Amino acid sequence: MIKRYVFGEPIGTDAVICEISISTDEINELRYSDGSFSYDMSEDTKVYGLGEANRGINKRGYRYVSFCSDEPSHTEDKESLYGAHNFIIIEDKEIFGVFFDNPGKVTFDIGYEDINKIVITPKYPDMNVYIVNGDDILDIVRQFRKLIGKSYVAPKWAFGFGQCRWSYETSDRIDEVIKGYEENDMLISSVYMDIDYMERYKDFTVSDERFPNFKEFVSKVRNEGIRLVPIIDAGVKIENGYDVYEEGVNNNYFVKDKDGNDYVTAVWPGYTHFPDFLNKEARQWFGDKYKILLDEGIEGFWNDMNEPAIFYSKNKLEEIKKSLSEIDIENDDDKLLDIKWKFNELANNGDDYNAMYHNIDGKVVNHDRVHNLYGYNMSRAAGEAFEKLSPDKKILMFSRSSYIGMHRYSGIWMGDNCSWWSHILLNLKMLPSLNMCGFLYIGADVGGFGSNATEDLVMRWMALGVFTPLFRNHSALGTRNQECYQFTRTKDFKNIIDVRYRLLPFIYDEYMKAVQNDDMMFRPLAFEYSEDKMAIEIEDQLMLGENVMIAPVYTQNVTGRYVYLPENMTFVKFVKDGEIVTEKLDKGVHYVNVELNEVPLFIREGKKIKVVKHSVITDNNLRKEIMECSIEYKEEDFEYIG
Ligand code: GLC
C-alpha cells in the first residue's frame, strides 16, 4: 500500500510513473515539524536504502546529504556522492519505506546528531512524500519499484568485460589494448573512449588527427568482436563555429544566469555552457546529437560530469580578479589567505549552482532547487532519443550522476573510487542499496580509478566484478597501468575473465528477472534471513538472485576469509585452468580458503546454477561470438553446479 502526501508546491521530477491520489490523513509513520521529518529509533532499528551512498548497507550512524556531487575522494567522512536516491526503508517492530521526491538538497541524519533519532530535512519544503507499507522488506521494495517504473535494460554485449582508461587517446592506443588482451588470450567485449577522443573536448566530435577514419575504425574493432564506448560530458565548449554550441545559443538551450544570459562555467574544454536538460526541447535537441556517433557505428555511451561538475566559473574568477587588484601583495597577509581559500573553493561552488536558472515548461526555476535532476535528465535525453533513433537495437547508457527515475533510461557507475581495498567493500555495499532504488545496470571502476593499483588488488576486485552487470576496469590519468595484461600473472587474470563469460548466461538471467519482477538482483542477507540474528548484521556477503551468495575477499595478504552461512550451502570455487571445486558446508561460520586466482561463490542447498563449460568458453572458433555475447549456447554447453 502506498500513500502520497504533498508538501508545498512540488516541482515535477517524473521519478514516479503511477498516479497515486493525495492522502489527506496525517503521516503516522514519521513526525513532521519545523520542516523536518523525524523518527525515534529503538536499539534494533535498521535503515536501508539511499542508493549510491557512503558507508554501510544499514545506513544507521551517519549523515548523508542528497546533493549530486563531483566527489573524487570517497573517504568515510563524505556525505554526498554523485547520486541522490531519497528512498529508505525503516525496519523496527513496524516496517515501512519512504521516498522523498524532492530534487533539491535533502539531509538524512540517521543517528548522527542523536544516535537514536532519524531527522530528514529538505532544503526546500516542496515535494511529494510516498510512504510504502508492505508485508516485509522485499514486498516494500517491489511496490516502490512498481511506483517508479521498470529499470533500464542494457544490451547483452554490455555484460561482457570492458576495459577503460583515462585515456586511450589515439586509435593506435586502442589497438594496443585490444592486442594486449588478445595476445594473452583474455576475452574482452568493449573498450571505452575517455575525453581525449574528442576534438578539444567538444561533445559529439571525434579528433580526426587521433582517430582518422573513425567509422572504419569502429567497424574494424567491431569485427574483432569489440564495441567502442565513448564518453559524453555535460558541458558544451564555447567556441565559435562549433555547431552544438551555436545551436544551443541560438535556441536558448543553455542554462541561464539571473539576467537571462547563458551561464559560463569551465570544465575539461575550458569555458562551457550547460545544456538545460530540464527543458524538454533542449533535452530533445541534445539527445538527437547522439545520432552523430550512432551513425559512426557506436552502440554505447557513458555520460559524465553531469552533477554538473564545475571546475570554476567566470563569475568566481571575476571575483578573485577583483580581490587581487585591490590587494597589496607585500602587506595584506589576511587578504592573501582569503584569496587562497577562494581558489580552493572554485570547484562545484554553491554560489554557481545558485546563480543558474532552468526553463521548465516555460517557468524559470533556480538550479539549486532542482540540482539533483540534472544528470538524470542528461541521460534521459539520451534514453528518449535512443527509443526513437534505435528502436530495435538496445544502446548502452550509464551515467555518473543520477536521481530516482533515471533508472528507467540508464545504468550508473559508481564514479571515481580509488585503488583501495576498502573500496572493494564499498562497491559491494552499494549494490543492494542501488537495486532498492531501481538501478540494476551498475558497477564500479574495477581495480580502482584513482591511486596506483597493485596486482593482487586488481585480481581480488575482478573476482567481485565478475558478478556485477557492468564489469569495467577503469583508471585515472597518471596512475599505474592496470589493464589485466600489464601484470605478471596474466594466466590468472585470463582465468578470472573466463569465469565472467562462463557465468554470463546466469548473470544476465538474474538481471532480467530483477528487471521484469521489479526485484533486487543483489540482496543483503538481512532481507533474506530476517530472523537470523547473525545474518542480519552481515555486510560483506550478498545474495545474488535466489540461489547464490557471494562473499569476495577484500583484504590484502590473505589466503581466504570468514563467511557465515545462514543455511547449508555448497562452496564453489572457480580455480585455475577452468576447474570448479565444490564442497558442502553446514550452516555456521567457516574460514574458506580462496587463493588470489580463484573466484568463490556459494549455492543454497538443493539448488544449482548453470555455467558454460570451460571447453566451450575457450574454443577459439567461438571467441568472437563469446566476446560479442551473441552466442546461442546449446544445453550441452552448460554444466550445472551446486
Ligand atoms: C571523471 C570521470 C572519470 C573520467 C574522467 C576524465 O573524473 O569520473 O571516469 O575518466 O572524468 O574524463
- Does 261 fall in a domain? no
Task: Give the contacts of 135 (CB within 8 A, at least 6 positions apart).
Answer: none
- Residue 277, ligand 1, Cβ within 6 A: no
- Residue 415, ligand 1, Cβ within 6 A: yes
| Residue 50: other Cβ atoms inside 10 A | 25
What is the arithmetic mean of pLDDT over 349-357?
98
CA angle 88/90/93 to nearest 5° reads: 165
What is the arithmetic mean of pLDDT over 444-469?
98
Q: What is the CATH number of the domain that holds 573?
A: 2.60.40.4040
3-class DSSP assignment, residue 8: coil
What is the arithmetic mean of pLDDT over 621-629?
98
| Residue 284: other Cβ atoms inside 10 A | 14
Q: What is the CATH number of the domain that holds 112?
A: 2.60.40.1760
Give the C-alpha separation, 22 to 563, whole Å.
46
Beta bridge partners of 191: 163, 228
- pLDDT for 251 equals 98
Of 583, 551, 550, nearest to 569 by C-alpha is 583
Angle at which helix 455-465 crosses helix 490-516, to 10 degrees, equals 30
The number of the ligand 1 atom at minimal distance from the alpha carbon of 415 is 8
Give the C-alpha separation, 300 to 319, whole Å.
41
Domain count, the chain: 2
- Residue 166, ligand 1, Cβ within 6 A: yes
Question: Phi and psi (nearest 5°) for 199?
Answer: -90, 115
Tens digit of pLDDT for each residue in 173-187?
A: 999 999 999 999 999
Give the C-alpha separation, 618 to 231, whole Å.
31
What is the arithmetic mean of pLDDT over 192-215?
98
The number of the ligand 1 atom at minimal distance from the alpha carbon of 449 is 9
Give the C-alpha separation, 562 to 546, whole Å.
22
Give the C-alpha separation, 208 to 305, whole Å.
24
- pLDDT for 300 equals 98
Query: At residue 329, does pLDDT exceed 90?
Result: no
What is the arithmetic mean of pLDDT over 38-43?
98
Give the C-alpha separation, 313 to 293, whole Å.
29
Give the C-alpha separation, 601 to 588, whole Å.
16
In this structure, the strands spanning 471-473 and 445-446 are parallel
The DSSP H or E segment spanning 490 is helix 490-516
Give the residue, by CA position, lying nearest to ligand 1 atom 3. 416
3-class DSSP assignment, residue 604: strand
- Does 587 fall in a domain? yes
Give the C-alpha separation, 521 to 376, whole Å.
22
Of 54, 71, 72, nearest to 63 by C-alpha is 54
- Which of 148, 164, 197 terminates a domain? The answer is 148
- Does 619 fall in a domain? yes
Q: How far is CA 308 from CA 11, 275, 377, 522, in A?
A: 19, 10, 11, 29
Give the C-alpha separation, 508 to 440, whole Å.
11
Q: Which mutation among 52, 73, 166, 229 tests ligand 1's pocket best, with the greatest number of atoms within 8 A of CB?
A: 166
Tens digit of pLDDT for each residue in 73-120?
A: 999 999 999 999 999 999 999 999 999 999 999 999 999 999 999 999
Lookup: cell for 370: 532542482
Give the residue, by CA position, lying nearest to ligand 1 atom 12. 195
Euclidean distance between the first and the last CA atom of the chain, given in angstroms as a whole number: 38
Lookup: cell for 498: 573466463
Q: Which mutation among 68, 304, 400 tests ligand 1's pocket best, with the greatest number of atoms within 8 A of CB?
A: 304
Q: How far is CA 157 from the centre of its chain?
A: 18
Of 420, 374, 419, 367, nearest to 400 by C-alpha is 374
- Does 79 fall in a domain? yes
- Does 43 fall in a domain? yes
What is the arithmetic mean of pLDDT over 317-329?
92
- pLDDT for 224 equals 97
- Does 422 fall in a domain? no
Q: Burial code of 84-123, b = ≥16 C-beta within 10 A, e = fewer?
A: bbbbbbbbeeebbbbbbbbbbbbbbbbbbeeeeebbbbbb
- pLDDT for 583 equals 98
% of the chain surpassing 90 pLDDT: 99
Give the C-alpha separation, 430 to 445, whole Å.
13
The DSSP H or E segment spanning 617 is helix 614-617
- Residue 195, ligand 1, Cβ within 6 A: yes
- Residue 400, ligand 1, Cβ within 6 A: yes
Give the C-alpha separation, 107 to 86, whole Å.
10
What is the arithmetic mean of pLDDT over 229-255?
98
- Which of 79, 113, 148 terminates a domain? The answer is 148
* Total residue length of the chain: 642
The number of the ligand 1 atom at minimal distance from the alpha carbon of 194 is 12
- Residue 194, ligand 1, Cβ within 6 A: yes
- pLDDT for 331 equals 87
- Which of 99, 121, 148 terminates a domain? The answer is 148
- Does 125 fall in a domain? yes
- Does 64 fall in a domain? yes
Q: How is residue 28 annotated by DSSP?
A: S
- pLDDT for 332 equals 87
Q: Which domain holds residue 91?
A: 2-148
Tens digit of pLDDT for each residue in 394-417?
A: 999 999 999 999 999 999 999 999
- pLDDT for 493 equals 98
Of 552, 568, 606, 237, nearest to 424 by C-alpha is 552
